[in-house]
Chain A
Amino acid sequence: MKMFKTLATSALALSFALQAQAADVPDDVTLAEDQTYTFWLLDAIKSMDPQINTDVEGSDVLRNLFEGLYNENGNGELVPGVALDHEVSEDGKTYTFNLREDAKWSSGEPVTAQDFVYAWRRLANPATASEYAWYMELMQVENASAVVAGEMEPDQLGVTAVDEHTLEVRITNPLPYFPQMLVHASTFPVPQSVIEANGDDWTDVGTLVGNGAYTLTTHQLGERVVMDKNDTYWDSENTVIEQLTALTINDVNQALTRYLAGELDRVDIPAGQYPRLKEEYPDQAVSTPYNCSYIYMLNVGEKGPEALKDVRVRKALAYAIDRDIIVDRILQGGQRGAYNWTHWAIADFERPELDWADDMDQAQRVERAKELMAEAGYGPDNPLDLTLQYNTSEDHKKIAIAASQMLKQINVNVTLDNYEWKIHTDRMQNQDFDMARYAWCGDYNEASTYLDLMTSYSGHNNGEFFNDAYDQVMQDSKTAEDPLPLYQEAETILAEEMPIIPIYHYANVDMISDDIAGLPENNVNNTWYGKDIYRVAE
């Protein structure tokens, strides 16, 4: 098979970012005596097992205890992890990764290609019963679906250790963003011997063996996690922070109070408090784009209301909502009003020109919405009744109340339905809703992580928007040299059909101690690594 070094973005990023790994301390910086970093967790860590974990917070911990093929730097570009680089076959379906020889487990054993093979098979294996088994399918690894369904043995999965330090992966379709997907914690290697010897207890303190820059020293469920620097890590020489501590604080405001009391180095800022804190602590309050979009999903399927099958009504609903009020008056944390689905900060993505976003101001949109409603047969004497369902949260409630007021002016009477999380989700998945709050956080930094969701064959398209043209565009994008025009076409179809009402694009709104450096500033996934951080002397 003819191989060639890939010239895709990943390879460029790799060569570019080679020197930017580990803590990149400028020469004129004096480091503080105390090299510890304390961060905040909203909830207890559900699992320390890379193939079992499903949470963003769990991933934050796992990225420090384990290391996958690639890491991300502060700009969201790939940098070498256990893999130094890779080659892609001409048909784009075979990836060969060259692994570093100095990677070690915290037990001192070398990390080999076989460890990745074991971990990936384990993720797909029905016996593991991982909730993230679908990630192997999303990565399109050969035979993943059949293995997950129990129709093939795990060893038939398309991943092979060619030798100790060469890993070969076969995928069924070329995926330009395949390397980006390898940053995900579910693809991290795990130590086979430790898991086989300890079963489900292998993640206990003292038993857990990882290959990350830190090792687990304390895990008090729902209270704290402490990780100490791992001296067997291949780049431990350049790792500055000696100890990472994660404190679980279930209340956002309480976390902020404790941050202000000096107990933490980083916490989220509760909605609405960013302007005040930015004024009071300009060096500590920061807002950066975050890879999630907030929408109201419309039920356009069979079980949905008749009115929502009319595209004029759907557009009117979208036009009538004033996003500036939601982001500037309610959230106030640097979020951006959304007129499309894909987050604006996604790499290599640019929103297409959309008439309702670019050519109209809010007053014109409301005017247009009223016209559309009138055309569809609704007016002051014949208002439209719809329900808007959201899951329990102060912020969702505020936004829903504002939206219902805004929709009133175009003669839509909105009934607000508040459900706890599980019921909300269950109802959405059973198409038991008119309009429902929904948020999607991208799995990787590429537009398809959003746009694939609206295809008819996506498992998450709860509003049942089925559009052949859209499906075709998304399928074509998989093999396109430059997928951007196709992504833009997909967004244009969404704007014309309006199966979802975009509300806003998320931002990470944080308080960060002013002596902490090395946290990502321009990474939409906010993928951070303890090894990149350092504390500057005051």
Chain B
Amino acid sequence: MITYALKRLAIAVPTLLLLIVISFLLMHSAPGGPFTSERELPPEVLANLNAKYGLDQPLWRQIATYVWSIVSDFDFGPSFVYKDRSVNEIIAQGFPITLTYGLLSFAVAVVVGVSLGVAAAIRHNSALDYIAVGVSIGAQVLPNFVMAPILVLVFTLWLGWLPGGGWQGPEYWIMPVIALSTSFMASIARITRSSMLEVLTSNHIRTARAKGLPERRVILRHALKPAMLPVISYLGPAFVAMITGSVVVDIYFSTGGIGKAFVDSALNRDYAVMMGVTILIGALTIFFNLMVDLLYGWIDPKIRY
């Protein structure tokens, strides 16, 4: 298993490199540049800017310089738009915020989603099942860009319980977590429910029940673990999606997180920030996909690496 993990990590390096080159080329092929503005800059001003940020160099050299400064100094360069800051600083400020609400949302989504799914499967076709299915479908079809303004309307304007946005302490975390976790929670609940239903009709559960094991033990010990396989394959990418932020959460709750910065960097042609966040998300995706695959091996002994 260790060899397998090492092999996967070795493949990750060329994968990331490919990601960098492709993103770099795609980004530069988009019309307009970081200094395109309503007020077209005089050529001499534009020349100074391009010289400062190395945009006057041939593209291959820009890529090479960029990759080299990452490898040698772990320096992702200066932002072309937020000129007082480097990409490292922008990520260092925004990512911890995103990570905080992302991890919390993940925890909420998994705990509530799995509980709801399991409960619905055990009490199949009961009122509890219908409620759980109803809740999860409702949560799924309510997009977070609709839910976010409603949350602020209710909890900030009407009830006055929570601040409407910002990032100053735990009371600021609640609405972003609700908004971000709901649809993930719904998906987890539905996947858990159907997977659990399938497992509960399988032979080893019938055997366990025939042995006279208490139902509690049957569920927790014998059913839950195999039922988690499809959930976990969903959780890997979902986890990365959550901790790398949501532009909707950042926009509606003014968190200052990385999701908004990512979308802005694309719209602003802030090449450096866009590359930095792309690499961050790429690296996290590769890493957590590997984690998921390793977890598979642990959960299902039939899977061998």
Residues of A within 8 A of B (CB): 43-44, 46-49, 52, 54, 126-131, 133-134, 137, 145, 148-150, 200-201, 203-204, 220-224, 247-251, 253-254, 257-258, 260-261, 263, 420-423, 425-427, 429, 438-440, 459-460, 462
Contact = CB atoms under 8 A, between A and B. Distances in A.
* Residue among A201, A426, A462 facing the most chain B CB atoms (10 A cut-off): A426
Contacts of B153: 257
A443 B242 CA distance: 43
B65 interface: no
Nearest to A420: B267
Nearest to A220: B256
A145 B43 CA distance: 11
* Residue among B40, B82, B93, B268 facing the most chain A CB atoms (10 A cut-off): B40
Given A222-B254, A422-B267, A47 B40 contact: no
B78 A223 contact: no
B256 A422 contact: no
Interface string B78-99: 1001111110001001100000
Interface in B25-54: 30-33, 35-42, 44-45, 48-49, 51-53
A47 B52 CA distance: 17
A333 B35 CA distance: 32
B163 interface: yes
A221 B85 contact: yes
Interface stretch (B129-137, B164-172, B189-197): B164-172
Contact of A247 (B86, B149, B254): B254
Contact of A223 (B30, B251, B256): B256
Contacts of A204: 84
Contact of A52 (B39, B83, B165): B83
A156 B299 CA distance: 74
Contact of B254 (A126, A223, A253, A459): A223
Given A220-B93, A421-B267, A427-B31, A258 B156 contact: yes
A258 B164 contact: yes
8 closest A-B pairs by beta carbon, nearest first, are A422-B32, A223-B256, A129-B52, A426-B32, A258-B164, A149-B44, A222-B256, A126-B48
* Residue among B31, B37, B264, B267 facing the most chain A CB atoms (10 A cut-off): B31
Contacts of B257: 222
A85 B133 CA distance: 74
B45 A131 contact: yes
Contact of B252 (A224, A251, A261, A420): A251
7 contacts: A129-B53, A133-B44, A200-B84, A222-B250, A223-B254, A261-B160, A429-B36
What range describes how many residues of B lie at the interface? 35 or more
Nearest to B86: A200
A254 B252 contact: yes
B181 interface: no
B164 A257 contact: yes
B254 A134 contact: no
B222 interface: no
B97 to A, nearest CB: 8
Contacts of A425: 32, 36-38
Contacts, number: 155
B51 A257 contact: no
Nearest to A254: B252
A224 B48 contact: no
B157 interface: yes
A140 to B, nearest CB: 14
A149 B166 CA distance: 43
A200 B32 contact: no
A499 to B, nearest CB: 17
Contacts of B36: 422, 425-426, 429
B164 A263 contact: yes
A426 B31 contact: yes
Given A222-B260, A257-B157, A423 B44 contact: no
Contacts of B166: 223-224, 247
* Residue among B45, B157, B267 facing the most chain A CB atoms (10 A cut-off): B45
Contact of A258 (B78, B93, B152, B264): B152
Contacts of A46: 81-83
Given A49-B83, A247-B165, A133 B256 contact: no
B254 A248 contact: yes
Contact of A131 (B37, B163, B267): B37
A249 B82 contact: no
Contacts of A201: 84
Nearest to A148: B44
B224 to A, nearest CB: 40
Contact of B51 (A126, A130, A251): A126
A422 B36 CA distance: 7
Given A257-B157, A421-B267, A425-B32, A129 B254 contact: no
Contacts of B116: none
A150 B38 CA distance: 24
Given A48-B84, A263-B164, A250 B44 contact: no
Contacts of A460: 38-40
Given A46-B81, A46-B83, A248-B256, A131 B41 contact: yes
Given A221-B93, A248-B254, A148 B42 contact: yes
A518 B267 CA distance: 37
B164 to A, nearest CB: 4
Given A201-B84, A250-B251, A460-B38, 11 more contacts: A49-B83, A220-B167, A220-B256, A221-B256, A223-B166, A223-B254, A248-B256, A258-B156, A263-B156, A423-B31, A425-B32
B158 to A, nearest CB: 9
B255 interface: yes
A221 B94 contact: yes
Contacts of A149: 44
A321 to B, nearest CB: 22
A260 B165 contact: no
